[in-house]
Amino acid sequence: MDILSVAAVAAPFVAKGAEALAKTAGEKIGGVVGDLCQSVADKFKGDSFAEQTLAGAQEKPDSKARRGALQAVLAEKMEEDLDFAKTVQKLIEADRSLS
């Protein structure tokens, strides 16, 4: 899976947050999504634009525009740090295997 595809899959999960997904999808999936959300938050820490983009997406998780902005920032961060990209991809794959 390429970086843009991973970002496209990850963005809605990160926007909705682990708590909301745990309520609807179960604890195991919620745990994986929680790890994903924490990894993204840690990576965005110190980058005010990335932090604001994440906060905006989480404020209105159903907004396509905000999810798109989050997806773009996430893809940028993954392109800059391939280890981070691998972590996100592994968490996405783990979530898919639980579904």
Look-up of token digits 């994903």: 36
Q: Quick check: 18 pLDDT over 90?
A: no
Average pLDDT value for residue range 2-25? 76
Question: What is the rounded distance in angstroms from the CA atom of residue 46 to the CA atom of residue 51?
Answer: 8
pLDDT digits 0-9 by tens, 59-70 = 999 999 999 999
pLDDT digits 0-9 by tens, 31-61 = 677 888 889 999 999 999 999 999 999 999 9
Is the pTM value of this prediction over 0.75? yes
Q: At what angle do helices 82-98 and 3-16 cross, to 10 degrees?
A: 60
Average pLDDT, the chain: 84
Q: Quick check: 79 pLDDT over 90?
A: yes
Phi, psi angle pair for 60, to nearest 5°? -130, 75
Average pLDDT value for residue range 7-34? 69
